[in-house]
Homo-oligomer: A and B are copies of this chain.
Amino acid sequence: MSGDDGGCERADEGVPGEEADGLEGEPCEGWPVSLAGVTESLVATRGPNGLWNVAALGLFAGEAVTARTWGNTRTQRNFHREGEGYVQFTRDPVAFADAALSIVEEAEPVIDATDAWARVRAERAGSGTDGGTRWVEWTLVPVEAAIERETVAPINRGFGAVIEATVAASRLDVPGYDETVLVDRLAHCVSVVDRTGGPRELEALSRVRRHSTWEPAAADEYDWL
């Protein structure tokens, strides 16, 4: 643990020019992984139908780990009603794209693609409005956690491009974002995945297209899309 408060590293705690203490941060208290900056996770929350809704959730490291839900989403309603959920870490770009851009409902909370998870208590910490969208901030307190699978995760630019494409596609219909900029960014992601992605990245990007309003201008050049 890096501090007395069990906190995790925030982006603004970095001291450029000085070496960090180690190559990897310490795991944050109660979490199965080290968190720094914003970590893109999945969260399963139980819906009124008894099924677990799996959605994307950005975790903000800090003295406490927090996350924001934007608008009247299933995650927001389920956190509000149930007060908990299962935060999950995966390296599968298909699972990420599906959760981020479509409705995924499962009988069990922890999905197969998950490498590590934490059951968290979700405590409402605040709310506000940004660009016309109401957000709620939650403090996430882990109460149980497990590691399912550890690997060596090689760097693949296509993987990063799928994540960026997912983010861009999710903003296509959100007021306040410039659609031309987002479409340009998506085209760049297509080009990176096309040149560097593996089969899971190609599949994930085809899901991004299927789950969103994105119409790639040059789709006929990419028969996998």
| Distance, CA A224 to CA B203, complexed state (A) | 37
CB distance from A28 to the nearest CB of B (A): 11
| Distance, CA A112 to CA B23, complexed state (A) | 8
Interface size, chain A (Cβ < 8 Å): 66
Given known contacts A23-B113, A39-B154, A201-B37, A16 and B91 CB-to-CB distance under 8 angstroms: no
Query: Do the beta carbons of A152 and B154 come within 8 Å of each other?
Result: no
For A32, what are the chain B residues with a Cβ–Cβ distance below 8 Å? 152
Given known contacts A200-B20, A225-B16, A155 and B11 CB-to-CB distance under 8 angstroms: no
Residue interface bits A136-166, CB-to-B below 8 A is 1, else 0:
0000000000010111111111111101100
Task: Please give the residue numbers on chain A whose beta carbons come within 8 Å of chain B beta carbons, in ascending order.
Answer: 9, 11, 13-17, 20, 23-25, 32-41, 58, 61, 89-92, 94-96, 112-113, 115-116, 147, 149-161, 163-164, 167, 185, 188, 194-203, 206, 224-225
- Other than the given A11-B195, A20-B199, 18 more pairs (CB < 8 A) read A11-B199, A14-B198, A14-B200, A14-B201, A14-B202, A17-B206, A34-B154, A35-B198, A36-B197, A36-B201, A37-B158, A40-B155, A61-B198, A89-B154, A89-B155, A90-B155, A91-B153, A160-B160
